[in-house]
Amino acid sequence: MKFGSWYLCVFVTTFIYFYIYAVNYVRGGSVPSSLHPEFHPPKTIHGYLTESVEHLYRQGRQLDGEQRDARQGSLGPGVQQPVFPRLSMQYHNYTSMTTYLRHVSTIYANLTALYSIGQSVQGRELWVMVVSSSPYEHMIGKPNVKYVANMHGNEAVGRELMLHLILYLVQNYDTDYYVRWLLDNTRIHVMPSMNPDGFEVASEGTCQGGQGRYNARGFDLNRNFPDYFKQNNKRSQPETEAVKEWISKIQFVLSGNIHGGALVASYPFDNTPNSIFSSVLSTPSLTPDDDVFKHLAGAYSFNHGRMFTGEPCKVGAPQFENGTTNGAAWYPLTGGMQDYNYIWHGCMEVTLELSCCKFPPSAELQGFWEDNRKSLLRFLGEAHRGVKGFVKDENFQPIEGASMKVRGRDVGFQTTKEGEFWRILLPGIYTMEVFAEGFAPREVQFAIVEQNPTMLNVTLYQDTPRRDGNTNSEPVEGAAPSGLFSFNPLSGLKESATNLLAKLPLIG
């Protein structure tokens, strides 16, 4: 080897040696010495430098491993990494459920927010977990959706599925494209138990019966809401009042009410105006948005592992085509929560019956989770179907509380304080009617396509009073009155009765 080449090689090797030595010194490593048991004195200077470099390199790799282990485990004496939540496939009582929800909200504070909407009769909190990329504040233009489970305390599968759904969403936000899209564009409110008192007295393995179904005062919470068709004289309960106040403050677009005891997705109306025959014969009671409700129920059923087959739970039980049914066609009830959501607040709620056995053994929970995971996720995405937008005045200021309805669909909805609105609709051509106090009413035609929601921004203009003191706005010819209660399900019944009486012979 030429002298110049040898000199250059020694220089480079020496430089690398001192560089690695300096790095390891900062990390806490040590220089090899003759006292080290693994040290073997080389015969040449070049050999010494080469072995020293290799030793320092191995020591650096070892330090990297130790530091990586430290990040995953202990950060130092008495300091531990946060323990990430785990959830077993078993039932969780109120205490363990509360501990779990608090743990998740602490570890995943960037994706979750835990709040209570009130207390049960016995003082248990009615917990709700928001799961979203903006959990602590409303995202302008992004819809709110919700799941409410365990309304009947002995129908326990939904309660556990909600706990697993929360964990699935936060743990897959960084890896699952659909989950990330859902959390970035939606605020998901999950109430695992609306009736925690009832759950505490229910018994695992009990498929039928009423133990735990009712709240601590013996009231069925799904018969405790105001009813549009018949007067509900049942005394309102704390759990019901809490939910009513909750949905009056947040404009929910879509909701799932989770039950057990059957395997079907049931949609409004649950009640019927036909009081003469309702106690004898169950007949469909259809909403103005019947096409949308059938679609929403089908979206859950067809994404479910078994629901779409419509197979009855037992011999003699009803068989549901495609795993869906109109609520009143199955059996009518007064004071149901899904009718209240829809008529009073314009929120489209579907009742999801997820298990033939109301409180099955915990060994079956894994199967229920596998059957329902996809449908629970896909159902929430339906909130992004239809039309959305803002209602503002000519100065671009949002108009809060503007009454809106789609022509021919006389159950209305209202704008938020930011002037936002959403409405789930299937593809087609529609006309939106918009009314607000102090403004001239407006009609806007728009189209809905399958792929993306239609963005519709509506500008309202101030009413100008006439000389007689009235406004210039004229009622829309043939239009139904505005508001949440403009739908009259009795109109068809009255017309049929009039036609029937006209055909009867006159006597006397």
- Which residues are catalytically annotated? 353
DSSP secondary-structure letter at 452?
A: S
User: 10 Å Cβ neighbour count for 77?
Assistant: 5
| Residue of 125, 189, 193, 96 whose CA lies nearest to 153 | 193
The residue assigned the tokens 């009830």 is: 333
Strand partners, 130: 113, 189
Task: Note whether 404 and 415 are within 8 A (CB).
Answer: yes
Nearest to 349 by CA among 229, 269, 275: 269
Phi, psi of 427, rounded to the nearest 5 degrees: -55, 140
Q: Are strands 420-423 and 387-393 parallel, antiparallel or unpaired?
A: antiparallel
- Token pair, residue 106, equals 């602490």
The distance of Cα 503 from the centroid of its chain, to the nearest Å, equals 52
Nearest residue to 311 (alpha-carbon basis) of 264, 369, 358, 350: 264
For 117, the 3-state DSSP assignment is strand
Q: Phi, psi at residue 464, to the nearest 5°?
A: -105, 120
Collect all residues with Cβ–Cβ distance below 8 Å to 385 and sequence separation of at least 6. Answer: 424, 425, 426, 453
CA pair distance 124, 113, nearest whole angstrom: 18
Pairing of strands 348-355, 144-149: unpaired
E strand or H helix that includes residue 149: strand 144-149
Alpha-carbon distance 295 to 265, whole Å? 11
125-131 vs 187-191, strand pairing mode: antiparallel
For residue 460, the SS3 value is strand
